[in-house]
Homo-oligomer: A and B are copies of this chain.
């Protein structure tokens, strides 16, 4: 039985497939018996699931956020919301140990991820750094990328607001870096090595701020220190073994990272004091806001010309008409 996307499930449907556990909580029913309240997810969304006490007895778990689980059950309606009544549940690891057939288990179906090929993004980002940045910043950037490669391939760009999914940080960084490259053609008197290194490394600290990439949550250091200074520290540490003939070059890169939120009230401890820092701040903010808009437009399924109110953007958005094909590219001629 192929995977049915959560967004397509209807009341009464029988389910036998795999999910990601996004939340898990033990509760007690009115008679005092324990049951599980779960939130199960796949790449299309999430739904509530109940594992009542009789099922808990034979499927004791435990189940934790991040687990991949095989589930049998039925979709029911409760107070107008669909939820899954679970009849059997076990982790993929346990099922494998039990020798079950996992042929239909496809982890890629279980969580949201960047729509781009992550390996490809990675190659392009590496290529950009290698070909466009001169030493010594080139070495620094490549060293950092190399060390955090595995994290970069999975880390989200944010917990909630933009690119909050597997590979989101990579996608965001790739957009900001390519945009920076394009902007340098318009503003060629900026220091291109600083701009490109800053564009690639500005959000590096997300890697230590966020854990559990398929169901992102903040780490304790993320909470207590924040990604801006964490990223600065990661770059600073990495730079220790390298030689900088111009002692202020590294300092200016550090400044770009610390100031990339653009204003104290947005969490940067310092304002951008160079044009390079200003540019990286703008391109980062622009990519995040454009993505927030895209996400909100996509998630809006209501009628009407405007979306519902988006709290972080503090506005509603115009949905407009679908773009005709010819609005996406210039035509060949210039006859008017």
| Residue ranges of A at the interface with B (Cβ–Cβ < 8 Å) | 11, 30, 77, 130-135, 138-139, 142, 175, 178-179, 182-183, 185-189, 191-194, 218, 220-221, 223-226, 228-229, 232-233, 236, 246, 248, 251-252, 254-255, 258, 264-275, 278-279, 282, 285-286, 289-290, 293-294, 305-306, 314-318, 320-321, 323-324, 326-331, 334, 336
Q: Which of B233, B258, B265, B294 contacts A264 (CB 8 A)?
A: B265
What would 7 more interface pairs be, CB under 8 Å, given A135-B336, A272-B315, A274-B293? A11-B30, A182-B186, A192-B328, A194-B327, A220-B318, A264-B267, A275-B290
A131–B139 CA distance with the chains assembled, in angstroms: 41
Q: How far is the CB of A199 from chain B (nearest CB, A)?
A: 12
Closest-by-CB residue of B relative to A80 is B30
Write the nearest CB–CB distance from A252 to chain B, whole angstroms: 7
Given known contacts A179-B186, A233-B236, A318 and B223 CB-to-CB distance under 8 angstroms: yes
Can you give 30 contacting A-B residue pairs, CB < 8 Å?
A131-B334, A182-B185, A183-B183, A189-B328, A191-B323, A192-B328, A192-B329, A192-B330, A194-B327, A220-B251, A223-B273, A223-B305, A224-B255, A225-B232, A225-B251, A225-B269, A229-B229, A229-B232, A255-B318, A268-B269, A271-B314, A273-B316, A273-B318, A274-B293, A274-B318, A275-B290, A275-B294, A278-B289, A278-B290, A282-B282
Q: Is the CB of B186 within 8 A of A178?
A: yes
Q: Which of A236, A254, A269 has the most chain B CB within a 10 Å cutoff?
A: A269
What residues on B are CB-neighbors of A224 within 8 Å?
A: 251-252, 254-255, 258, 270, 273, 318
Q: Within 8 Å CB of A218, what residues of B?
A: 306
With both chains docked as a complex, state the minimum distance between the C-beta of A78 and any C-beta of chain B, in angstroms. 11
